[in-house]
Amino acid sequence: MYDSLLDNISLGFSTAVSAVNIFWCFAGVLLGTFVGVIPGIGALAAISMLFPITFMLDPTSALIMLGGIYYGSTYGGSTASILLNLPGTPATAVTCLDGYPMAQQGRAAVALLMTTVASFVGGSLGVVITMLFAPVISEVALKFGPAEYFSLMLVGLIAASVISSGSPVKSVAMVVLGILFGLVGIDIYSGTSRFTYGAFELIEGINLVALAMGLFGVAEVIASIRRAGITEVDKSINLRSMLPTRDDVRRSVFPLLRGTMIGSFFGALPGTGGSIASFMSYAAEKKIARDPSRFGNGAIEGIMGPESANNAADQTAFIPTLTLGIPGSATMALMLGVLIIHGMAPGPTLMLEHPDLFWGVIMSFWIGNLMLLLLNIPLIGVWVRVLQIPFPILYPSILMFICVGVFTVNNSTFDVMTVVVFGILGYGMRILDFPPAPLLLGFVLGPMMEENFRRALLISRGDLTTFVERPISMAFVLITVALLAWSAWMSYRSHRAHRARTVEVSGSPD
């Protein structure tokens, strides 16, 4: 299988270095860094805003640009984490823990440079891992039937729900709600309209872009409006002050490599991604450190591990998306949407039928990561200034992009009203502490799951054991059960610990 790897790499490279694709790659990473730097709008909001623009591009350029936004935002996200103690994107939240203390010690420039290096190394190694593993996985996936697909998507959704930071029941509930929204529209088997209420705009289903922009864009804007403007930012950041000490470099090497491994693993799992990877990497570094008390006080290991982990995860997240057609995260669900809108069937055959797209996109990640390295080091001063743009100027612009963007998808003001509905839902969910990402994941996977579930049971004549009789499917089902049991046990334990604490407190003479 690997004899053709070199051919594929050269095919991908020639696709990626065409002037058009280099331009879109550059536009993507630049914009990605920009939205990453600004706390409040992340890659998901930016990708849903620019989603309509990609209709005018060919699918390869579209994925290259959206991919650039995706991993570019993770580069930029650490800037806000370090300078403001405010995560630019969720995946860089953990960088605040040691990045901000470094900034307070006057070492902001060193932290910014080193996180860029960590992002570059993590990202590049993540690309290598993607190149090596994607062909193998797509080979295996060619043997998958509907039962395997259903079970795999089930694992992905359950993993996404129970490994996330919040309440697993709430996450699962959002997945189910998302599946319900995904079922709106015509049923392909019987031609029956479901939940359309006579609106012909709903026959083809709820518009993915409108749903994503409402849930993430509009709800995010509402929540960020009261955020105070940033006035004071360290002006002393220049190339000279970025130089790390020899001790910094020595301490960074191993966390960087470990972070990359952890990130690559969690990125490739469907359902998990950069945020979880960066937390896992931080926990691992703290656990194996000789002096854990340095963490939280500006330990450079505490930024190098997570920053390489989240960027590696960004790259390997493309493995399940492009080889199986199963998006590992909400952002990947949008990428998949691009392929579907361009009439391509995502799945194991994608790599065989469109090798130029597959390898072109992967190779563009190299170019994008290199651009980000070159872009970030001299431009850190510029990104610091971006933090000072007052939000009252920014948010009408974000709303305008959302509105015009969603309108252009179908030339439909109905879709713009859909944004309003999902903006209201998204803000309500935020207030009631429900996570929006599982909803989007359920929305995209729901119809695929229904189709595969139905097909599997049609083949087995209604026999549910088909999901455990086929070995690959059984493995997925077992993992799902194990994940659920683990999550139930963890919440039981934390519940007991909580109760023990309450009893202790109420029992103490106060």
Give the interface with other proteins as residue ranges (CB under 8 A).
53, 56, 167, 169-170, 172-173, 176-177, 179-180, 183, 187, 189-190, 192, 194-195, 218, 221-223, 225-226, 390, 392-393, 395-397, 399-400, 402-404, 407-408, 411, 413, 416-417, 419-420, 423-424, 427-428, 430-434, 446, 450, 453-454, 457-458, 460-464
In the complex, least distance from residue 235 CB atom to other proteins, rounded to whole angstroms? 24
The CA distance from 262 to 277, in Å, is 6
In the complex, least distance from residue 120 CB atom to other proteins, rounded to whole angstroms? 30
Question: Is 445 in a helix, a strand, or coil?
Answer: helix
**Cα dist. 160→314, 381, 454 in Å?**
15, 37, 23
The CA distance from 5 to 320, in Å, is 19
Under DSSP, the state recorded for 202 is G
Contact 208, 441 (CB under 8 A): no
Q: Which is nearer to other proteins, 9 or 222 (CB)?
A: 222
In the complex, least distance from residue 411 CB atom to other proteins, rounded to whole angstroms? 7
Q: Which is nearer to other proteins, 14 or 196 (CB)?
A: 196
At 185, give phi and psi (nearest 5°): 120, -170
Q: Output the six-digit token pair for 264.
A: 């690559």
The CA distance from 338 to 52, in Å, is 9
Surface-to-core class of residue 65, CB atoms within 10 Å of its CB (0-12 exposed, 13-18 middle, 19+ buried): buried
The CA distance from 55 to 428, in Å, is 31
Surface-to-core class of residue 7, CB atoms within 10 Å of its CB (0-12 exposed, 13-18 middle, 19+ buried): exposed
Q: Which is nearer to other proteins, 294 or 455 (CB)?
A: 455
In the complex, least distance from residue 187 CB atom to other proteins, rounded to whole angstroms? 4
Q: Which is nearer to other proteins, 298 or 423 (CB)?
A: 423
In the complex, least distance from residue 73 CB atom to other proteins, rounded to whole angstroms? 20
The CA distance from 252 to 113, in Å, is 12
Q: Which is nearer to other proteins, 110 or 184 (CB)?
A: 184
Q: Which is nearer to other proteins, 261 or 429 (CB)?
A: 429
Q: Output the six-digit token pair for 299.
A: 């330990």
Q: Which is nearer to other proteins, 13 or 407 (CB)?
A: 407
In the complex, least distance from residue 413 CB atom to other proteins, rounded to whole angstroms? 5
Question: Which residue matches tokens 């090596």?
Answer: 132
Question: Which residue matches tokens 């998901």?
Answer: 44
In the complex, least distance from residue 82 CB atom to other proteins, rounded to whole angstroms? 27
The CA distance from 206 to 208, in Å, is 6
What is the full DSSP assignment across 72-93? HHHHHHHHHHHHHSS-SSGGGT
In the complex, least distance from residue 47 CB atom to other proteins, rounded to whole angstroms? 17
Q: Which is nearer to other proteins, 14 or 193 (CB)?
A: 193
In the complex, least distance from residue 141 CB atom to other proteins, rounded to whole angstroms? 24
Q: Which is nearer to other proteins, 31 or 129 (CB)?
A: 31
